[in-house]
Every structure is written in structure tokens, then in C-alpha cells.
Amino acid sequence: MTTPDEPEQEQPATPLVPAYVITNGRSLLDDDTLSLITLVTTAQDAPAVQHLDPEKRRLLELCSGGHLSVAEIAGHTQFPVGVVKILLSDLTQGGYLVTRAPIPAAKLVDRNILEQVLHGLQARFG
């Protein structure tokens, strides 16, 4: 309680829309194909966005600049990762987004093979 001499302190802002409202009460799917490093971008022939929720429009706006990972999208929107995955899944199924797995790390090549190639090139070209 404040006295008349003390100024009132602002209450911390609460999110206007709880996460369960944004996702319509849904939880993550069991066959979750979106990992934190899955890359997402907008589809070239995406349908009209007039009927989409503001949160989904925001995700489409973010993804229109190029490929972003799921983790980057969650960071930009300040939504929990689970919420972002559900929204991205909806947008992908609706034809608005295209997802792709990240490029796998290169496998190490056998050093002996590289040395043989090097020796062969040196023998051939000096």
C-alpha cells in the first residue's frame, strides 16, 4: 500500500494473450519434426494471409527475410519454443512456410586417402 506522499509504482506488464490461447489449447505433437535448428522460410506460392491470427502473421513477417531457425524465431517473438513450434507446424501445413532440416555436419575423410591423392598429384604435376 502506498501513502499519499509516495508515487504509485507500475505493475509489471503481463502478456495480453496467454500461450494456450495462441495455440488454441493444443500441445506439441508426438512426431515433432521441428527441432531448434530446423530452418524456416516463407513459401513462394503462399495463400492469402487475411484470415490468419496476428501471431501467425508475425511469424510470416519474420520468415519472409530468408531462412531462420526455430530458435531464432522464438527469440525474436519472445514466445515459448513450444508455442512457436505449434504455430510453425500450422503454417507449414497450410502452405505458408517451407521447412528444411539443417545441413548436416561434414563427415571426416580418411587422412590416408587424402595423402595418397596428394602424392598422386605431386607425382603427376611435380
Alpha helices in 46-106 (DSSP H): 54-63, 70-77, 81-93
Label residue 10 by pLDDT band (50, 70, 90).
Answer: low
How is the chain split into domains, by residue range?
19-125
Could you tell me the fold of the domain covering 19-125? Arc Repressor Mutant, subunit A (1.10.10)
| Nine cell digits for residue 101 | 532440416
Per-residue pLDDT tens digits for 20-74? 677 776 776 665 678 899 999 999 887 887 788 888 899 999 998 889 999 999 9
| Stronger pLDDT, 9 or 57, i.e. the higher one | 57
> Percent of the chain scored above 90 by pLDDT?
33
Sheet with 97-100, strands from edge to edge, namely: 68-69, 39-42, 97-100
Label residue 12 by pLDDT band (50, 70, 90).
Answer: very low
Per-residue pLDDT tens digits for 89-118? 989 988 999 999 877 778 888 899 999 999
